[in-house]
């Protein structure tokens, strides 16, 4: 570890430079925002340093480069201006200053990685969109689909707009190159035009792409030019059937000394628009000649294929799918390879009568047969992959996986694994643990391998702090061959502070030992700091949004407005005085919780309890809990929750932030506890935040809770409720 600290001063100097830079950004950004309020500015800067260490047998190290600190600083700048709703200008810049071969390979220093200028204007005779710099060129799967550096212009004429017809004309030019350093248009230059027309019946397009790779020693021995033409359409047919097709013609050269070649690429697909429940099907056929090789396309040349997929989705959410696939690779050669596949999959939650909670199942199985014309290849593969997940307890899930694959004359493999996911609370800490164990046995030709592995992952979250750790051990026995043991360990700490900053520290290590032989030890220490600067074109939110008049709120009463009087940070004695003034003198004491049976929301019939949580004589949190006994009446529950929300909005105004996910249904108890349904609303208050929501609870009870506290965990933490209150 000594080496870790040897070059630390260099890192510190870098850190100071970046700190100074960010201070300038911070102050300068404020000034720019004030001068040009219509500009939105987003800047994100990450300074990261990694230290790599390798000892022992370096040949078997997971890392390539040896001991030293490797630092880089990434900047992502986005500037945007809306002159009016139809006129947008945007600049994106992504650059890195790097001293790390992992980050930028052989290049060092400052490297601009992505530059994009974007202009869109719709309030002119001919609406247009221009992109310059890095952009994604996409006409179709069979013509071009790749990142280019260059210019793309799109025109959208207003012809036949009143008849519901839209059209678009695109011209692009650009080179496909990984970096702006040493950029030259002569390396891999593409030009293309595309016309697309959309009507209520379907969409139709014509595309033309020309590509040129110039002669360059060590890269291309000759000058290669090629052109691809295509017509494609997507047609809506009666019965919610969708027909897609494309015919593409290729003419030109490609590397491997192929000149003046021509060939076709054909595609056809028919599918029904899948409804929520019921049958769905898809038929697909493709044919590509051996010389169909457009530079920017995705498809595989010299292949013919045909597929049929049939699926059914049950009312309970279980989904099944069957497939039949036929591929003929190298079909224009003397020895084509034919592959036939039949597969079946099933996924979803099933609930057998004896199980109180649903079992999640995911099954995928297929049979594959391959053979070639000359008889040199003839094998069959069987595969089965089964995943099951079952909640053993309220806070404990069991996961299992079984995998079997067998290819005749080649390999046979089995693997079984078991894992547990446990989550719990300890005071204000949220803890997750996941132990797992797996066994694997495989035979590949004459080599046999048997491996055991076990691992343990954990995570602890405390307010803005997150700790994460994992460790795993694997022993692998090989016949013939040497036995290998590997041990991995990983520790990470992450902290968010003052909204704009994130600090992270990570340690990753691995020990690899060969039984009776060499061993390799590697580790990596990483430290990084991310700074976010954001200037919105909207004015910042008010700290407190109160719809009712302050004097009305100031009037002490048993109403939802009581929260304004019982704020975090108030001395508990004063809080007790507030309650005494309201005629509530004897709370029930449970630990540091003072519990009152009160009715703050008159219109809500459910039991309501107000809890004051004391911490060293000071009120840390005020909580109101609504209990729901009859979980079967989801309509009543939902109506009651809406009334609580509306009452809060009447008093505190619109929430400053909220998260709504999933729909409330009959299964709302399970949905809330599984995280499918989330409801959280927050109001910024003078002394903290008010949060209303339905937290997930380990005892599966459904409660609506309102908390007034200085800070809350992020929305992703679902069990934010008061677990200690039964």
- Give the integer Cα–Cα distance in Å for 523 and 51: 8
Smallest separation (angstroms) from other proteins to the CB of 634? 21
Smallest separation (angstroms) from other proteins to the CB of 235? 11
- Give the integer Cα–Cα distance in Å for 623 and 721: 9
- Give the integer Cα–Cα distance in Å for 42 and 589: 49
**If DSSP codes are grouped into helix, strand and coil, which group holds residue 275?**
coil
Closer to other proteins by CB, 535 or 703: give it. Answer: 535
Asked if residue 289 lies in contact with residue 261, where contact means CB atoms within 8 angstroms, the answer is no
Which strands make up the sheet holding 688-693, listed edge to edge? 588-590, 593-597, 607-615, 618-627, 703-709, 688-693, 678-685, 657-661
Q: What is the DSSP string of 445-513?
A: TTEEEEEEEEEEEEEEEETTEEEEEEEEEEEEEEESS--EEEEEEEEEEEEEETTTEEEEEEEEEEEEE
Closer to other proteins by CB, 582 or 649: give it. Answer: 649
CA distances from 93 to 17, 43, 80, 528, 593 (A): 20, 10, 12, 21, 52
Burial of 549 (0-12, 13-18, 19+ CB in 10 A): exposed
Closer to other proteins by CB, 278 or 481: give it. Answer: 481
Smallest separation (angstroms) from other proteins to the CB of 701? 25
Residues in contact with 637: Cβ distance below 8 Å, sequence separation at least 6, in sequence order: 628, 631, 664, 668, 702
Smallest separation (angstroms) from other proteins to the CB of 443? 10
Closer to other proteins by CB, 5 or 160: give it. Answer: 160
Closer to other proteins by CB, 142 or 565: give it. Answer: 142
**Strand 109-121 vs strand 359-372: parallel, antiparallel, or unpaired?**
unpaired
Smallest separation (angstroms) from other proteins to the CB of 81? 11
Phi/psi of residue 157, nearest 5 degrees: -60, 150
Residue 297's nearest CA partner among 360, 362, 249 is: 249
Smallest separation (angstroms) from other proteins to the CB of 307? 8
Smallest separation (angstroms) from other proteins to the CB of 54? 12
Tokens at residue 375, please? 């008889």
Closer to other proteins by CB, 153 or 584: give it. Answer: 153
Closer to other proteins by CB, 190 or 606: give it. Answer: 190
Closer to other proteins by CB, 341 or 460: give it. Answer: 341
Smallest separation (angstroms) from other proteins to the CB of 255? 20
- Give the integer Cα–Cα distance in Å for 689 and 683: 6
Residues in contact with 320: Cβ distance below 8 Å, sequence separation at least 6, in sequence order: 311, 312, 313, 314, 344, 345, 346
Smallest separation (angstroms) from other proteins to the CB of 403? 7
- Give the integer Cα–Cα distance in Å for 311 and 278: 8
Closer to other proteins by CB, 341 or 664: give it. Answer: 341
Closer to other proteins by CB, 48 or 609: give it. Answer: 48
Long-range contacts formed by 184-189: CB under 8 A, 24+ apart: 185/150, 186/214, 186/216, 187/213, 187/214, 187/216, 187/219, 188/213, 188/295, 189/213, 189/214
Smallest separation (angstroms) from other proteins to the CB of 166? 6
Burial of 726 (0-12, 13-18, 19+ CB in 10 A): exposed
Smallest separation (angstroms) from other proteins to the CB of 610? 27
CA distances from 548 to 395, 494, 517, 567, 651 (A): 41, 40, 77, 18, 5
Q: What is the DSSP string of 416-452?
A: EEEEEEEEEEETTEEEEEEEEEEEEEEEETTEEEEEE
Closer to other proteins by CB, 419 or 435: give it. Answer: 419
Closer to other proteins by CB, 259 or 497: give it. Answer: 497
Smallest separation (angstroms) from other proteins to the CB of 665? 17
Closer to other proteins by CB, 13 or 444: give it. Answer: 444
Smallest separation (angstroms) from other proteins to the CB of 451? 6
């Amino acid at each position: 570890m000594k080496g870790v600290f040897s070059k630390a001063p260099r890192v510190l100097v870098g850190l100071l430079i970046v700190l100074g830079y960010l201070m300038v950004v911070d102050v300068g950004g404020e000034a720019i925002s004030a001068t040009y309020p219509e500009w939105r500015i987003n800047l994100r800067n990450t300074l990261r340093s990694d230290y790599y260490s390798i000892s022992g047998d370096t040949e078997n190290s997971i890392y390539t480069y040896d001991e030293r600190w490797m630092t880089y600083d990434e900047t992502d700048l986005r500037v945007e201006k809306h002159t009016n709703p139809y006129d947008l200008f945007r600049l994106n810049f992504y650059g890195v200053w790097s001293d790390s071969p992992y980050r930028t390979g052989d290049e060092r220093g400052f490297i601009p990685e992505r530059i994009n200028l974007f202009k869109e204007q719709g309030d002119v005779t001919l609406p247009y969109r221009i992109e310059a710099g890095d952009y994604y060129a996409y006409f179709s799967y069979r013509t071009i689909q790749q990142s280019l550096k260059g210019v793309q212009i799109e025109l959208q004429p207003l012809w036949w707009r009143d008849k519901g017809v839209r059209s678009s004309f695109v011209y692009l030019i650009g080179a496909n190159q990984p970096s702006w350093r040493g950029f030259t248009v002569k390396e891999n230059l593409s030009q293309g035009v595309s016309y697309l027309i959309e009507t209520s019946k379907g969409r139709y397009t014509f595309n033309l792409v020309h590509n040129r790779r110039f002669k360059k020693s060590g890269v291309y021995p000759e000058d290669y030019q090629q052109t691809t033409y295509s017509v494609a359409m997507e047609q809506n047919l009666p019965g919610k059937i969708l027909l897609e097709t494309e015919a593409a013609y290729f003419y030109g050269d490609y590397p491997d000394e192929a000149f003046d070649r021509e060939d076709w690429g054909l595609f056809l697909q028919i599918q029904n628009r899948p409804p929520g429940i019921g049958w769905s099907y898809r038929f697909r056929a493709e044919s590509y000649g051996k010389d169909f090789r457009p530079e920017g396309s995705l498809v595989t040349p010299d292949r013919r294929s045909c597929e049929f997929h049939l699926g059914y989705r049950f009312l309970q959410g279980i989904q099944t799918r069957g497939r039949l696939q036929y591929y003929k690779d190298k079909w224009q050669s003397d020895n084509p390879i034919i592959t036939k596949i039949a597969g079946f999959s099933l996924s979803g939650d099933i609930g057998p009568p004896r199980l109180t909670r649903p079992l999640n199942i995911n099954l995928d199985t297929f049979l594959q047969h391959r053979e070639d014309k000359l008889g040199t290849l003839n094998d069959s593969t069987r595969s089965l992959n089964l995943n099951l997940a079952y909640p053993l307890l309220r806070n404990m899930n069991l996961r299992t996986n079984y995998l079997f694959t067998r290819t005749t004359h080649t390999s046979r493999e089995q693997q079984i694994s078991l894992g547990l996911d446990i989550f719990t609370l300890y005071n204000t800490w949220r803890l997750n643990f996941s132990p797992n164990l797996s066994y694997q046995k495989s035979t590949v030709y004459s080599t046999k391998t048997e491996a055991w592995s076990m691992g343990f992952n954990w995570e602890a979250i405390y307010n803005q702090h997150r700790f994460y750790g994992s460790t795993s051990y694997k022993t692998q026995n090989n016949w013939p061959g040497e036995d290998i043991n590997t041990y991995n360990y990983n520790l990470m700490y992450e902290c968010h502070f003052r909204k704009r900053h994130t600090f992270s520290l990570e340690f990753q290590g691995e020990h690899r030992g060969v039984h009776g032989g060499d061993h390799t030890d590697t580790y990596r220490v990483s430290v990084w700091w991310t700074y976010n600067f954001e200037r919105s074109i909207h004015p910042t939110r008010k700290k407190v949004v109160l719809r009712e008049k302050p004097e009305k709120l100031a009037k002490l009463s048993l109403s939802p407005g009581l929260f304004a009087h019982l704020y975090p940070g108030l001395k508990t004695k004063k809080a007790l005085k507030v309650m005494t003034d309201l005629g509530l003198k004897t709370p029930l004491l449970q630990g540091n919780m003072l519990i009152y049976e009160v009715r703050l929301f008159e219109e809500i019939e459910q039991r309501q309890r107000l809890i004051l949580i004391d911490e060293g004589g000071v009120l840390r949190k005020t909580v109101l809990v609504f209990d729901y006994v009859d979980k079967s009446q989801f309509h009543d529950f939902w109506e009651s929750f809406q009334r609580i929300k509306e009452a809060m909005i009447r008093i505190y105004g619109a929430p400053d932030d909220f998260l709504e996910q999933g729909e409330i249904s009959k299964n709302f108890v399970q949905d809330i506890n599984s995280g499918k349904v989330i409801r959280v609303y927050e109001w910024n208050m003078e002394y903290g935040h008010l949060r209303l929501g339905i937290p997930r609870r380990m005892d599966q009870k459904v409660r609506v809770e309102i908390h007034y506290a200085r800070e809350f965990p992020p929305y992703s933490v679902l069990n934010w409720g008061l677990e200690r209150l039964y």
